[in-house]
């Protein structure tokens, strides 16, 4: 026990001891007596003290801390390097962030779950989930059927001129089938979206379709891009046995249809890229865009919803819809049919044989080259794609299997306990905010006490609902394509049922195996997926310092978003505005004063709210940990690191942020990782105290912003 503590002592303690050695023998003897007495007292009062955690998950965590840290960096000068230096130094190619690594681990967990030989009872939801994954992985069978299953689908749609057997089907009929039965939206996309406010009534949204190619003549290498796309479409047609001359003609027309459609986007739409919606009715749409039979198309897509022509719909760009109708009106029907079928083939590629997959991969690679972007990983292994498809079609079941495997009741209870410690700490801290008036403090406290927390997974996954996992209408085989289509129709039906059923409260935006937490302001719900509450962020057997520092500060960060609305201009009229503005300005200047690695940029006013949340979260998590320490004994530490519990708290806070500091997305509202560590830590006197940072060192600049 004693040895552990000497090893754990901070540097300062070591030097103190060395001076003590110079004292006389008597003093040493006296001192030893004193120490012996204190040790005795220590044993009497705290039988366990902070002993090392020898649990395998702890040892694994120690190993990962030791490999990511740079022990020669000084914590008071550059804590980020001290914790993450060996990762971000560039000597290793693996500069992925801790969360990216965790995401990958979760994919591997899903793979193990799906590939385990468990005798699921035939016809059960789990059996169907596993069966779909296996069918997706059976590339031999998929390649053996070749293009035949797709040819059948094309015949069901009335055929096309490219392979001859063609019955000139009605345009509106084909379009309706494509959108309602095959999930392919060649001219516009229509979907239901729950309104953001409860009770989340569904709204019909109509947006432009996704274009595989950004056809813009002013683009760099435009002609090469067209050529690459032309050769890709020709390949698809060739796999289906198309005649080369007819193919070339139809493919060229298809490309010109796409580029004419793109040109139809209204100008200001191109600028704001589909953020605002305009309300209209189906009857008005029919006037604006007469080439489409709107009522019958939308009825097919949203069956069994009852729609009439006065139904209101939200359209993101009416100019596009008008232009699209004109384009359709000018094109011969046989070309329209070919265009629609080529679009369908692209949509179905995940379910087609390797010829199709390779063609699509080559196209993407080529486009990336032409755009001058660095080659990214296109060779995504098959199992990852299959896990993604399985997750799409069987999310409730796969989610429940994941939770069962990775998030025990013990984990859930411990995480819930941790969350309530954080929640209480924030509630206690609110009344100490000098700039916030009492009324607003009470408002936040009420919100905080009524917040609904979904820990690990949504209720519907934790308490499986047979309706949500009803896959009776899924037919397997004979080909994987047919299985895929059947799953996609079943998913559509389930989605429609859930929209038409009783109004639902909150819908999860992330599956339980994902790694992002979020707070939904309109529902006052905070969500922490099971995929996130895993080592290295959280484990019930970890020292509490680790759980509070990593998972706890992340929970606190989400809760801080409740207060965001009070920080924005005009958000809190009753607050002490001059003080609030002063502190926000202080925080902004504080972040601007921090040094960044060469070549990286950031905008401190763009990231101000997230910086405020980071800074507040660290304060709250530390207060919650202190309070917890006062109430509990039996805290452990991690062996071999030489960190006291409070130091360990900060180490684990920072470790979660490790990642390449250079890859900063300009849209990201968060600061780059190094600032997410240095910003909050150097604003916290507690950090300087526990690491003995002299005043004036970068991690203890002396003045602190008092926002929190």
Ligand X SMILES: *[C@@H]1O[C@H](CO)[C@@H](O)[C@H](O)[C@H]1NC(C)=O
User: Which H or E run includes 26?
Assistant: helix 25-45
Q: What minimum distance in Å lies between the beta carbon of 187 and ligand X?
A: 11
User: Quick one: which segment of 14-22, 95-103, 160-168, 417-425 binds ligand X (CB under 6 A)?
Assistant: 160-168
The answer to whether 621 and 681 are in contact (CB under 8 A) is no
Q: What is the dihedral sign for C-alpha 49, 54, 55, 60? A: positive
Nearest position to ligand X, beta carbon? 89
Strand partners, 280: 313
Residues 6+ apart with CB under 8 A from 379: 361
Q: What minimum distance in Å lies between the beta carbon of 674 and ligand X?
A: 13
Strands 312-315 and 202-207: parallel
DSSP string, 314-373: EES-HHHHHHHHHHHHHS-HHHHHHHHHHHHHHHHGGGS-HHHHHHHHHHHHHHHHHTTP
70 binding ligand X? (CB under 6 A):
yes
Which residue lies nearer to ligand X by CB, 94 or 140?
A: 94
Per-residue x/- mask for ligand X, residues 273 to 292, rule CB under 6 A? -----------------xxx
Residues 6+ apart with CB under 8 A from 159: 165, 166, 167, 169
Q: What minimum distance in Å lies between the beta carbon of 344 and ligand X?
A: 16
Whether 541 is catalytic is no
Q: What minimum distance in Å lies between the beta carbon of 91 and ligand X?
A: 6
Q: What minimum distance in Å lies between the beta carbon of 157 and ligand X?
A: 9
Q: What minimum distance in Å lies between the beta carbon of 392 and ligand X?
A: 30
Which residue lies nearer to ligand X by CB, 99 or 248?
A: 248
Total residues found in the chain within this entry:
708
DSSP one-letter code for 56: H
For the packed helices 333-348 and 171-181, what is the interaxial angle rounded to 10 degrees? 10
Phi-psi region of 641 (alpha: psi -120 to 50; beta: other; left: phi over 0): alpha
Catalytic entry in 395, 454, 610, 614? 614
72 binding ligand X? (CB under 6 A):
yes
Two tokens, residue 692: 């003995």
User: Quick one: which segment of 161-169, 476-484, 495-503, 625-633 binds ligand X (CB under 6 A)?
Assistant: 161-169
Of 120, 139, 155, 437, which one interacts with ligand X (CB under 6 A)? 155
Per-residue x/- mask for ligand X, residues 601 to 620, rule CB under 6 A? --x-xx--------------
Whether 614 is catalytic is yes
Two tokens, residue 95: 């500069």
Which residue lies nearer to ligand X by CB, 39 or 500?
A: 500
Which residue lies nearer to ligand X by CB, 27 or 332?
A: 332
Q: What minimum distance in Å lies between the beta carbon of 129 and ligand X?
A: 34
Cα gap 169→178, rounded to integer Å = 13
Two tokens, residue 210: 């996704």
Question: Which residues in 232-251 contact ligand X (CB under 6 A)?
Answer: 246, 249
Of 5, 42, 120, 171, which one interacts with ligand X (CB under 6 A)? 171
Rg (alpha carbons) of the chain, rounded to whole number: 30
254 binding ligand X? (CB under 6 A):
no
Two tokens, residue 221: 């290498």
Q: What minimum distance in Å lies between the beta carbon of 586 and ligand X?
A: 18
Cα gap 110→198, rounded to integer Å = 33
Q: What minimum distance in Å lies between the beta carbon of 336 and ligand X?
A: 7
Two tokens, residue 384: 């990852």
Question: Which residues in 307-366 contact ligand X (CB under 6 A)?
Answer: 308, 310-311, 328, 334
Catalytic entry in 558, 583, 610, 635? 558
Which residue lies nearer to ligand X by CB, 16 or 332?
A: 332
Separation in Å, CA 81 to CA 86, 228, 298, 658:
7, 45, 56, 9
Q: What minimum distance in Å lies between the beta carbon of 592 and ligand X?
A: 12
Strand partners, 452: 525
Cα gap 357→493, rounded to integer Å = 28
Question: Which residues in 462-501 contact ligand X (CB under 6 A)?
Answer: none
User: Which H or E run includes 579?
Assistant: helix 577-592
Which residue lies nearer to ligand X by CB, 293 or 523?
A: 293
Two tokens, residue 523: 């529902």
Of 9, 183, 293, 706, which one interacts with ligand X (CB under 6 A)? 293
Which residue lies nearer to ligand X by CB, 165 or 507?
A: 165
User: Quick one: which segment of 133-141, 212-220, 463-471, 600-608 binds ligand X (CB under 6 A)?
Assistant: 600-608
Which residue lies nearer to ligand X by CB, 85 or 456?
A: 85
Question: Which residues in 382-401 contact ligand X (CB under 6 A)?
Answer: none
Which residue lies nearer to ligand X by CB, 89 or 358?
A: 89
Cα gap 504→200, rounded to integer Å = 7
Question: Which residues in 75-114 contact ligand X (CB under 6 A)?
Answer: 81, 85-86, 89, 91-93
Reported in sequence order, the residue ranges of 489-543 that DSSP labels E, i.e. its strands, are 518-520, 525-529
Q: Which residues lie near ligand X (CB under 6 A)?
A: 66-67, 70-73, 81, 85-86, 89, 91-93, 155, 159, 161, 165-166, 168, 171-172, 246, 249, 290-293, 308, 310-311, 328, 334, 603, 605-606
What residues are labeled active site? 558, 614
């Amino acid at each position: 026990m004693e040895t552990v503590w000497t090893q754990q002592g901070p540097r300062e303690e070591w030097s103190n001891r060395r001076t003590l050695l110079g004292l006389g023998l008597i003093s040493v003897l006296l001192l030893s007596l004193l120490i012996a007495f204190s040790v005795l007292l220590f044993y009497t009062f705290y039988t366990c003290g902070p002993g090392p955690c020898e649990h395998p998950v702890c040892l694994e965590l120690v190993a990962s801390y030791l490999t990511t840290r740079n022990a020669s960096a000084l914590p008071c000068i550059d804590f980020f390097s001290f914790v993450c230096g060996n990762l971000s130094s560039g000597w290793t190619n693996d500069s992925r962030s801790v969360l990216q690594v965790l995401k990958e681990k979760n994919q591997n967990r899903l793979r193990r779950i799906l590939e385990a030989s468990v005798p699921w009872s035939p016809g059960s939801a789990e059996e169907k989930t596993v069966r779909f994954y296996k069918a997706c992985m059976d590339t031999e069978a998929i390649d053996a059927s070749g293009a035949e299953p797709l040819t059948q689908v094309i015949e069901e749609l009335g055929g096309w001129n490219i392979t001859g057997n063609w019955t000139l089907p009605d345009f509106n009929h084909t379009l309706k089938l494509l959108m309602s039965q095959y999930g392919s939206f060649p001219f516009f996309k229509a979907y239901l979206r729950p309104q953001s406010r409860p009770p989340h009534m569904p709204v019909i949204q109509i947006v432009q379709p996704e274009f595989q190619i950004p056809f813009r003549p002013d683009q760099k290498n435009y002609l090469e891009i067209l050529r690459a796309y032309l050769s890709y479409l020709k390949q698809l047609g060739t796999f289906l046995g198309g005649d080369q001359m007819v193919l070339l003609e139809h493919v060229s027309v298809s490309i010109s249809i796409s580029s004419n459609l793109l040109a139809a986007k209204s100008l200001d739409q191109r600028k704001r890229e589909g953020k605002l919606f305009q309300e209209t009715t189906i009857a008005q749409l029919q006037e604006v865009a007469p080439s489409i039979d709107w009522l019958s198309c939308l009825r097919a897509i949203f069956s069994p919803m009852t729609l009439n022509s006065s139904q209101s719909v939200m359209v993101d760009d009416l100019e596009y819809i008008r232009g699209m109708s004109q384009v359709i009106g000018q094109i011969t029907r046989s070309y329209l049919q070919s265009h629609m079928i080529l679009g369908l083939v692209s949509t179905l590629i995940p379910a087609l044989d390797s010829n199709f997959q390779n063609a699509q991969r080559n196209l993407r690679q080529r486009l990336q080259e032409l755009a001058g972007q660095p080659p990214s990983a296109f060779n995504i292994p098959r199992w990852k794609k299959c896990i993604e498809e399985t997750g799409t079609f069987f999310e409730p079941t796969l989610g429940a299997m994941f939770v069962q495997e990775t998030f025990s009741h013990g984990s859930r209870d411990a995480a819930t306990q941790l969350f309530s410690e954080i929640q209480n700490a924030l509630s206690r801290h609110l009344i100490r905010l000098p700039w916030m008036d009492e009324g607003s403090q009470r408002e936040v406290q009420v919100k905080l006490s009524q917040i609904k927390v979904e820990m690990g997974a949504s209720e519907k996954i934790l308490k499986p609902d047979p309706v949500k996992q009803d896959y009776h209408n899924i037919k397997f085989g004979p080909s994987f394509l047919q299985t895929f289509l059947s799953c996609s129709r079943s998913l559509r039906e389930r989605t429609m049922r859930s929209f038409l059923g009783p109004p639902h409260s909150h819908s999860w935006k992330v599956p339980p195996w994902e790694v992002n937490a979020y707070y939904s302001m309109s529902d006052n719900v905070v969500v922490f997926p099971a995929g996130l509450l895993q080592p290295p962020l959280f484990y019930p057997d970890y020292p509490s310092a680790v759980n509070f520092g990593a998972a706890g500060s992340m929970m606190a960060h989400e809760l801080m978003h409740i207060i965001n609305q009070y920080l924005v201009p005009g958000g809190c009229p009753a607050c002490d505005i001059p003080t609030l503005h002063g502190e926000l300005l202080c925080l902004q200047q504080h972040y601007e004063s921090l040094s960044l690695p060469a070549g990286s940029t950031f905008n401190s006013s763009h990231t101000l709210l997230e910086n405020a949340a980071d800074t507040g979260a660290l304060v709250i998590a530390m207060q919650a940990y202190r309070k917890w320490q006062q109430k509990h004994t039996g805290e452990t530490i991690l062996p071999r690191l030489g960190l006291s519990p409070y130091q360990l708290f900060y180490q684990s806070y920072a470790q979660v942020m490790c990642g390449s500091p250079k890859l900063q997305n300009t849209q990201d509202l968060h600061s780059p990782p190094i600032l997410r560590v240095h910003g909050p830590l150097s604003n916290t006197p507690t950090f300087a105290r526990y690491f003995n940072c002299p005043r004036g060192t970068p991690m203890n600049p002396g003045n602190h912003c008092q926002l929190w």
